Amino acid sequence: MVALIHGGCWTVQFGGITQMRDMATALARQGIAVWNIEYRCHDQPGGGYPGMYQDVAQALDLLRTLATPHHLDLARVVLVGHSAGGHLAQWAAARARLPRSSPLFVSDPLPVPAVISLGGLADLRNEAALIACSCERDTAQLAGHPSAARPDVFLDTSPAELLPCGVRTVLIHGEFDTISPLRAGEDYARRAQAAGDAAEVIILPGGSHYDEVSAGSPCWPIVRGQIRAALGMDP
């Protein structure tokens, strides 16, 4: 099955869960179970840190309850996130590495063997300038404020700080994506590979940031093929 996490610069103003309905419908028509996840953004009550992360985590772990009645194979779960959702998808896949001191720690998170990040903005520390330019978001909105108990806010919010996580990551970027350029995916892949994780970067020729999630885009066969391959299906 596929769990989808929408983007939108971590803010409520860009449509939330509806962003992924086109992709969800296209995958469901292929017989793939889809779980389209919503979460409280930084500008909603209870959103930001830690609520935004807890929403994503609880939605994933709820699949254990839903598996039997809906005949879900939880050994084959692929997380797919776009833009800000790429950050949350990569974070969710790495939750087993969270420090026990974090409010986000759970003892037995649902394991995920693969994550596909579509134009993801996942390295909160090293890509702070890109995130500020592309989304007009600062660290405090996404990761909370430093405190004596939590001096480094990235250690439980940025996937790059949770490497190695033992999860295969596919980073897909449109050739002309200016919000999350190819360079961002390449930098993350190098860091993941250096830590011992499997990571690869795939370019969508002629693609933009929004072609990455459009089932009507010429880029869709590439994205669909990667999702199917991660599920062990013929592309």
Query: 37 and 3 in contact (C-beta within 8 Å)?
Result: yes
Q: Which domain holds residue 175?
A: 2-230
Domain count, the chain: 1
- What's the pTM value of the predicted model, to 2 decimals? 0.97
Q: Tell me the pLDDT tens digit for each residue of 50-67.
A: 999 999 999 999 999 999
State the CATH number of the domain containing residue 110: 3.40.50.1820
Which amino acid, one-letter code, is at 18? Answer: T
- What are the angstrom distances between the C-alpha of 24 and each of 58, 88, 102, 215? 20, 18, 32, 9
Number of H helices, E strands in the chain: 8, 6
Predicted pLDDT at 196: 98
Q: Is 36 a member of any domain?
A: yes
Q: Tell me the pLDDT tens digit for each residue of 134-149.
A: 999 999 999 999 999 9
Q: Is 12 a member of any domain?
A: yes
Q: Is 202 a member of any domain?
A: yes
Q: Is 235 a member of any domain?
A: no
Q: What is the chain's mean pLDDT, rounded?
A: 96
